[in-house]
Structure 1
Amino acid sequence: MKKVLVIDSGVAKHPRLKDVKICTTGFRNQHTLDDIYDKVGHGTAVVSLISKGISVDEIEVYVIRLFNDFFECTITNLIECLEYVVKNNIYDVINMSFGITAGDEYYQIEKLRMLCEKIEMKGTIIVSAFDNDGAISYPAFFNEVIGVDTSYKINKRTEFEYVHNSCVNILGYGKNQKVAWNNPLYTIIEGNSFACANVTNIIINMLIQGVDKNKINDKLEEQAVCLNSYERYILPPDRPKWLKGKRFITFPFNKEIHSIYA
């Protein structure tokens, strides 16, 4: 039985999820399904994609509701959540279909990275979506996390591209797709959040098939429909030559400037 943790807006009771084993974690006294009820719809969509096609006796989906009436997460809340995870639970996979772009709280980024490192060292695979607008976002940017963006080449949710020399690791299926929602019951939506959920589904299936967690990256590279180097998110060593050896002053140091700095 594989254990996946979904950190999101919760999950609603939905016909598509009637055969999915949904569990709570105790985070912020979330002990019942009512405590993690999804008022937004986003988390319900993510859970439905992650669990799609997987037998009820092969997966347990643990849900933490980190967002309430709107889809927004601060780095402080995420750090609190991951600290709880480090102390209380071990999962096979953690899915975070969102990204935080650092603003006034940029100094906490290293603390967030260290928590991701601790979780990874416990044997948990972390999958996170990059910001839809192309900004550097966390925790997807970290080496300890599989960062997901959207591919516009693939046409199936079971397909993906593998990316070399980039903080983006996987390009998944994030184009328009029908997903379970809250109100209405279903909707058509696109975005990196859902590409991330589809990639998590692929990884869980690999684990069920017996792939060792330490070999997941190799397996992803092997099964990708194509391999490429993604120019949109270049790692620091590949920055333009004119930046090398230069010093700059920026004011204010906001989330947009931090995306350049990172």
Structure 2
Amino acid sequence: MTAPAAGPPVAPSVRMRAAPLWSRTGRGVSIAVIDSGAHPGHPHLGLLAGGIALTPDGREHDDLTDRLGHGTAVTAAIQEKAPGARVRVVRVFHEELATSARTLAKAIDWAGERGCQLANLSLGTPRRSRIEMLQPAVEHAARAGTLVIAAYSHEGERWLPGSLPGALGVCLDWDLPRHRVRIGRRDGRRVLYASGYPRPIPGVPPTRNLNGISFAVANATGIVALALELFPEARGRADALAALEGLTAV
């Protein structure tokens, strides 16, 4: 499992959806951010609700410190849109932006067992051999009321777990503003499109900052959290998409 680099824009002809409501903050929504951890005291981060670190060899510990920067940037993009959401950190990247499918499945299970409504995975793999391990984790999470949000595809290949049944897949659209998503279709399936740019850093051009499908996933997760605040009864992929559509009518 790896965190992807920036990819090319995807811009099919589908209708724009779901501008976030600025009076909403994602309050009452719980999110597990499965990534490289978070850097304490970073000015772009708000309060965090703890979490867990999981190593590829199966160990658990409580050092959530992000030493790679990816998880901090992903969390910042989510909290920028949904500062009232309860964010838990699940650190699966340690020395590099790579982990095992077994560790990722364990992280998804952890999110479901803790009652997180959303699990943000700004990472993935094109290796279909990992379906056997990841599909049960996505299904288990769904039964627990946890929706996995992850990349649907990257560089022309479908990615896991975002393309699995029960997950909400995200695709890139570089032309979208960072605070908007739209619902479209890929391979006959409904997916979200979102911008691949993270929260901006003053004085740093967007093209010099981290960017790509990782941040499209994070931007989408933040906006889904806003929808779930308005529609707290929503459960699962279909309900989340319906809630996003409902934002246009509120």
Q: Is 1:188 matched up with 2:209?
A: yes
Q: What is the aligned residue count?
A: 207
Task: Report the Cα offset of residue 115 of structure 1.
Answer: 1.4
Check the 8 A contact 1:127/1:200 in 2, yes or no: yes
* Secondary structure of the structure 1 residue equivalent to 2:164: coil
The match for 2:242 among 207, 212, 218 is 218
Which structure would you say has the larger Rg?
Answer: 1
* Secondary structure of the structure 1 residue equivalent to 2:132: helix
The match for 2:61 among 23, 30, 34 is 30
Which stretch of structure 1 is more off in the superposition, 171-180 or 205-214? 171-180
CA distance in structure 2 between the aligned counterparts of 1:109 and 1:179, rounded to whole angstroms? 37
The match for 2:127 among 102, 106, 128 is 102
CA distance in structure 1 between the aligned counterparts of 2:103 and 2:218, rounded to whole angstroms? 21
Change (3 A) 1:97 1:176: closer
* Secondary structure of the structure 2 residue equivalent to 1:52: helix
Q: Is 1:202 matched up with 2:230?
A: no
In the alignment, residue 217 of structure 2 is paired with which amino acid? Answer: C
Runs of 4+ in 1 over 6 A off after TM superposition: none
Check the 8 A contact 1:179/1:189 in 2, yes or no: no
Aligned pairs for 1:108-257 (under 5 A) are 108-154=130-176, 156-164=177-185, 166=187, 167=189, 169-175=191-197, 178=200, 188-214=209-235, 215-221=239-245
Task: Report the Cα offset of residue 74 of structure 1.
Answer: 2.4
Task: Report the Cα offset of residue 206 of structure 1.
Answer: 1.2
Which has the bigger relative contact order, CA under 8 A and spacing at least 6? 2
Check the 8 A contact 2:153/2:170 in 1, yes or no: no
The match for 1:5 among 20, 32, 36 is 32
CA distance in structure 2 between the aligned counterparts of 1:177 and 1:89, rounded to whole angstroms? 28
CA distance in structure 2 between the aligned counterparts of 1:173 and 1:48, rounded to whole angstroms? 15
CA distance in structure 2 between the aligned counterparts of 1:110 and 1:76, rounded to whole angstroms? 10
After superposition, the CA RMSD in angstroms is 2.4
CA distance in structure 2 between the aligned counterparts of 1:139 and 1:179, rounded to whole angstroms? 30
Q: Is 1:45 matched up with 2:73?
A: yes
Q: Deviations over 1:37-58 (max 9, x none)?
A: 1111100001001111434xx3
1:237 matched residue in structure 2: none
CA distance in structure 2 between the aligned counterparts of 1:75 and 1:20, rounded to whole angstroms? 29
Aligned pairs for 1:63-82 (under 5 A) are 63-82=89-108
Task: Report the Cα offset of residue 129 of structure 1.
Answer: 1.7
Check the 8 A contact 1:7/1:66 in 2, yes or no: yes
Q: Deviations over 1:52-83 (max 9, x none)?
A: 1434xx32211111011211122122123334
Q: TM-score, normalised by structure 2?
A: 0.74
* Secondary structure of the structure 1 residue equivalent to 2:131: helix
Task: Report the Cα offset of residue 131 of structure 1.
Answer: 4.6
Task: Report the Cα offset of residue 177 of structure 1.
Answer: 5.5
Q: Deviations over 1:180-208 (max 9, x none)?
A: 9xxxxxx6122010000000000111122
1:230 matched residue in structure 2: none
Looking at secondary structure, tell me which structure has more helix per residue: 1
Q: Deviations over 1:118-165 (max 9, x none)?
A: 1111111210024532211100111210111101332x1121221135
